[in-house]
Structure 1
Amino acid sequence: MEKNRETVLLGFEDEHISEKYKNQVNFCTNKIGGKPDYPPNIKLDPPICGLCQLPRPLIVQIYAPLEHSVYHRTLYLFACINPNCWNLNESWYCIRVHSQETTFESEETISSKSTSVVTHWCDDADDWDDDNNTNFNEENGNVISNIEKVSDEDDESCSLEDSLRSGFGNLFVDDRNANKGAQGGAVGRLHSPSATAEIEGNEGEVISIDTPTFPQRDIASLLQEAAPLPQDICQSDSRRISSIQFSPYFMAVWEETPDKQLANVSDRHVKELLQDYQQKNDDNSYLLSPEGGVTEGGEGYEKYEKSNPAHGDKMFHQFLSKIQSNPGQILRYSRESSPILLYPLQETMKKCQYCQGDLVFEFQILSTIISKLKLLTDPKQIARLEFGTVLVYTCRKSCWSSDTIFRTETVILQKELY
């Protein structure tokens, strides 16, 4: 839902989408990874990277309807995981999909009807099986009782168990070390029946001992900047390509704490420290002002001044401060607001390619999401992306027509600073 310009919604990783939740996930769900959940009337193939022709898995799915609109509105952001395409705008891809409420309700009605038909068919399945077995036996003139069959099988199994029990009952365990070959271990008594299963060769030859080995490490692979692509993604089979996806997680969303509230907390902390210092040292030369500053000898107030960061990059310092104020955030949403940047934008903002209208900032993902993206085919955690922040700009009018399936939005990537 569209929010006030000053309101910023933050996205955080939530619970894993397991099998029990898959029926509850649809195009109205905010999530990380997995397969894109399109409206029931829309089917799209996995997007292909225009640089390397490899499939691009889903990064995030954002449900973002606008006020005074009759459409559901969902944004899908994809990225290429090929290391050669990292930190390039062309490797990212965002589409916008609209759907009406009536379409979604009609599909639910159809699915409920189909479910009732399947349930009714399952209720009759057991009766059909019993009648068929009875008719088949009566036509041949031999109606065999299932109870007699089971009893015969039980007699055979009991006789086999009795013979085995009598054979094993004549064995005893020698207290000597069983690893010394024929001199110890389980041996049979005299005149006892021989075992049907025998081990060929000496016992010492049969026992295998795993010799511990030192771990072998490939130093060259450790120095590689990126892990190689999985074999499945390099196959031309479309079925394997569609299976490449990140592990799906729900995305929790809540509002960001305004900077003014954080500043008030900081000011109160400064006042408490100064008052504590005055009480311990009986120093009244510095008095607190009503506005939160200090005065010396009752003269004009003196306020604290914020110093510049040591590295001198105010924009990067602000970027880190915003992230550290709410640790764990992976997404920032604020339509028609301003994003937090690593450095000033170098790209000239273009117009909407469909209606030639203005573009507005809608959301951005942060590099903190990289550790959350776990490819299902990876046996262990491997970083499959590299970036500083990714900005998504959309059409201000959110232009749409009834014959449209989807529309592509503008993605701008900023590299991570070193």
Structure 2
Amino acid sequence: MSSSAQEVTLLGLCDGQLDPRRHCSSFLTNKVGGEPDWPPVVSGPSPRCGGCGAPSVHVVQVYCPLDTSPYHRNLHLFACPAAECSGRPESWTVLRSQCLEAAAQTRGRPLPKEKEVDGWGGGGGGVKDAEVQDEAVEVSRRLQGLRLGASPADVPVLRAFFISVVEEADLGGEDDELQHAQQLLREYERREGVAVGELNSGSGEETYEKTGARHGDAIFSRFMKRISLCPQQILRYCRGGRPLFISEPPSDAGRPVPACGSCGGARTFELQLMPALVGLLRRKDGGEAELEFGTVLIYTCTSSCWTEESGSTVEEFCLVQSDPDQQLFK
């Protein structure tokens, strides 16, 4: 995947519940919740909250190989499910893992190539066909069964959902999306006292006008305008592109994003979680996940550094922003 080359923004949408009795998942699967699927030869850790120390819950798994790289590549996002830690950046953990295709082969049975997997570079649809991933799943299950670093029993598990992928640019001419977007915008205008211009499906011009919203800033209005054609998006991906802030960035946001803790190199924006994801985050046992956020922005090593011999994950950087109007997305 190389959306950054042309700054193509890809959107992740919920594509139905992942029922383990009927579906299989592997590290090639894009999904919400469930147990993390680690690539072969990678020792998957069990992250804990940087605030309270409690076990973190697995929130999102993204398969995101780079076009110029020979590696399979994943990002796993974890968060503390405790209410008192919700929205705190130290309660989130982002782990990157990679493995060569050759290293992912077991007993002479190769994994499907990237082009055979309908992921972020596939141009739509979720990774739902078990037939496509049978061999990868079989390899992943065998290796995970032998892995000593299994998740502790007290780690909560969220209900799992498939994530399908579409290009944001492909949504511009859909009448039903436009109607739904206009309805959301009208509701927002009534509540907040902000006038947002009618959507123009044929151009990307910013036609809204801020008239003293209660939240008071054009940043939130711009956020609403940008996502209005697809308010159900749960994830935005554009490696090397620009993040979409939901509120004023922190005062220290002008400073460079912290360097990669592995190689010391610069980081780049890669993806962000969106408010619509919050409504999907329910514990498998029926309890509330207590996760609330506006957007979680993920920055990763620009060179995607990796040491094959290490077999361990690389921690990346995230910025958490609260949602000034969370109920709009529920």
TM over 0.5: yes
Shift of 1:50: 2.2
1:398 matched residue in structure 2: 304
* 3-state SS of paired residue (1:96): strand
1:46 corresponds in structure 2 to: 46
1:308 matched to 2:309: no
By how many angstroms is 1:16 displaced? Answer: 1.4
Aligned partner of 1:253 in structure 2 is 165
Q: Does 1:331 align with 2:235?
A: yes
- Equivalent pair of 1:46/1:57 in contact (CA under 8 Å): no
Give the alignment's TM-score, normalised by structure 2. 0.69
Q: CA 1:260–1:327 in 2, change beyond 3 Å: closer, same or farther? A: closer
User: Counterparts of 1:352 and 1:12 in 2: how far apart (Å)?
Assistant: 29
Q: Say which SS state the counterpart of residue 60 (structure 1) adopts.
A: strand
Aligned residues: 252
Cα pair distance change 1:309/1:329, threshold 3 Å: farther
TM-score (norm 1): 0.55
Letter in 2 for 1:356: G
Shift of 1:342: 1.8
Structure 2 counterpart of 1:14: 15
Q: What is the SS of the residue equivalent to 2:298?
A: strand
Residue 240 (str. 1) matches residue 153 (str. 2): yes
Q: Distance in 2 between matches of 1:50 and 1:255?
A: 35
CA contact (8 A) 1:5 1:334 kept: no
Q: Distance in 1 between matches of 2:46 and 2:265?
A: 28
Task: Work out whether residues 61 and 77 of structure 1, in 8 Å CA contact, stay in contact via their aligned partners in 2.
Answer: yes
Residue 220 of structure 2 corresponds to residue 343 of structure 1: no
- The CA deviation string for residues 33-66 of structure 1, in whole angstroms up to 9 with x for no partner, is 0000001322324211121121111110001101
Question: Does structure 2 retain, via aligned residues, the 8 Å contact 1:75–1:96?
Answer: yes
Equivalent residue of 1:39, what SS? Answer: coil
Farther-moved stretch of structure 1 (38-47 vs 321-330):
38-47
- Mapping of 1:102-113 within 5 angstroms? 102-106=102-106, 109=109
Instruction: For 1:108 and 1:366, locate their aligned partners in 2 and report how far apart those are by CA, in whole Å.
Output: 40
| Change over 3 Å in CA distance of 1:306–1:372 after alignment to 2 | closer
Partner of residue 186, structure 2: none
Residues 238-293 of structure 1, C-alpha deviation per residue, up to 9 Å, x if partnerless? Answer: 74224x2101111011100279879xxx9xxxxxxxxxxxxxxxxxxxxxxxxxxx
Q: 1:100 to 1:21 in 2, by over 3 A?
A: farther
Q: Give the AA of the match of 1:241.
A: D
Residue matched to 1:357: 265
CA distance in 2, matches of 1:67, 1:41: 21
Contact 2:99/2:308 (<8 A) preserved = no
Alpha-carbon separation, structure 2, partners of 1:61 and 1:336: 19
Cα distance between partner residues in 1 of 2:231 and 2:238: 18
Which segments of 5 or more consecutive residues in structure 1 lack a partner in the other structure?
Answer: 116-237, 267-303
- Counterpart for residue 323 of structure 2: 416
- Cα distance, 1:20 vs. partner? 4.2
- Label 1:309 to 1:356 Cα distance change in 2 as closer, same or farther (>3 A): farther
User: Matched residues in 2 for 1:251 and 1:57: separation?
Assistant: 18
Q: CA 1:28–1:372 in 2, change beyond 3 Å: closer, same or farther?
A: same
Partner of 1:387: 293
Shift of 1:321: 1.5
For 1:8-407, list aligned pairs within 5 A: 8-22=9-23, 24-106=24-106, 109=109, 239-242=152-155, 244-257=156-169, 307-311=209-213, 312-346=216-250, 347=253, 348=255, 349-378=257-286, 382=288, 384-404=290-310, 405-407=312-314
Q: 1:107 to 1:313 in 2, by over 3 A?
A: farther
* Pairwise CA distance, 1:75: 0.3
Any conservation in 2 of the 1:331–1:365 contact (CA below 8 Å)?
A: yes
SS of the equivalent of 2:228 reads: helix
Give the structure with the higher percent helix.
1
Report the alpha carbon displacement of residue 307 of structure 1 after superposing the two structures with TM: 3.0
Query: Does the 8 A contact of 1:40 with 1:107 survive in 2?
Result: no
Q: Give aligned-pair identity as a percent.
A: 33
Q: Cα gap change, 1:239/1:336 in structure 2, threshold over 3 Å: closer, same or farther?
A: closer
Letter in 2 for 1:378: G
1:87-111 Cα distance to aligned partner (Å, 9 max, x none): 1110000000001112222267499
Please list the CA deviations of residues 102-145 of structure 1 after superposition, one character each: whole Å capped at 9, or x if unmatched. Answer: 22222674998xx9xxxxxxxxxxxxxxxxxxxxxxxxxxxxxx
CA offset at residue 388 of structure 1? 1.1
Looking at structure 2, the residues matched to 246 and 256 of structure 1 have their Cα atoms a distance apart, in angstroms, of 27
Q: Is the Cα contact below 8 Å between 2:87 and 2:320 reproduced in 1? A: yes
Report the Cα distance in structure 2 between the residues aligned to 1:323 and 1:414, rounded to whole angstroms: 16
Q: Could you tell me whether the CA contact under 8 Å between 2:247 and 2:324 is conserved in 1?
A: no
- 1:316 maps to amino acid: F
Change (3 A) 1:93 1:240: same
Q: Which blocks of at least 5 consecutive residues in structure 2 are unaligned? A: 111-133, 139-150, 179-205, 326-330
Q: Which has the larger radius of gyration?
A: 1
